[in-house]
A = this chain, B = another copy of it.
Amino acid sequence: METKEKIVTEAITFITTRGTNAFSYKDISKEIGIKTSSIHYYFPTKNDLIVAVLEHVIQKNKEDRKRNNYSNMKSALRGYIDEHILIREQNKVSIIAALAADINTLEPQIKAILNNYIEEEIDYLAHILDKGEKEKLFVYKAAPRIQALMILTNLLAISRISMITEKIYFDEVSRQILIDIEKK
């Protein structure tokens, strides 16, 4: 892996485990064995690095989803939940949860990118829910985008909560999401 990619990879780990204000260029430099000035060569400011991290994660997520080809909306929803399970198993949180926590200390640029990404996430999940409802697979009361928000918020927050309480809570909540929505 080339240096630039290594830096982004390490930054992702720090941001999604400790937050943007609890890691420094020195932390990354120690981790991959280069000097902090070399990181500044690729990412002049910390904001540049965070932007690169955010765009990298968004891009990767898009590609991963393109690869999946779900036969029905039930497995599409399960696949969506699996994305969150995977992050949880690595003791990380999603980039949305990570950057949302620091939003008042970040530059407006990041807020804008993040806002756009969250809307896309809601769209993606709402589409699965809407299609699944029309196929008589799901039942729920809210509008699809609001129902998507209900599920997204369950996953984002239980990911955080289960780092403090018993890990089992994560499984119970993710299971309940499916029970509440799958018909019969």
Given contacts A100-B160, A111-B164, contact A150 B146 (CB under 8 A): no
0 or 1 for each of A109-153: is its CB under 8 Å from B? (1 = yes): 001001100110000000000000000000001100011011011
Bound together, the chains give a CA A141 to CA B109 distance in angstroms of 42
Contact, CB under 8 Å: B165 / A150: no
Q: Which residues of B contact A180 (CB under 8 A)?
A: 141-142, 150
Cβ contact of A163, chosen from B100, B154, B176, cutoff 8 A: B100
A156: CB under 8 A from chain B? Answer: yes
A105 to chain B, nearest CB (A): 5
A34: CB under 8 A from chain B? Answer: no
Q: Which residues of B contact A153 (CB under 8 A)?
A: 153-158, 161, 173
Contact, CB under 8 Å: A157 / B152: yes
Contact, CB under 8 Å: B141 / A22: no
Residues of A at the B interface (CB closer than 8 Å) are: 17-19, 21-22, 96-97, 100-105, 111, 114-115, 118-119, 141-142, 146-147, 149-150, 152-158, 160-161, 163-165, 169, 172-173, 176, 179-180
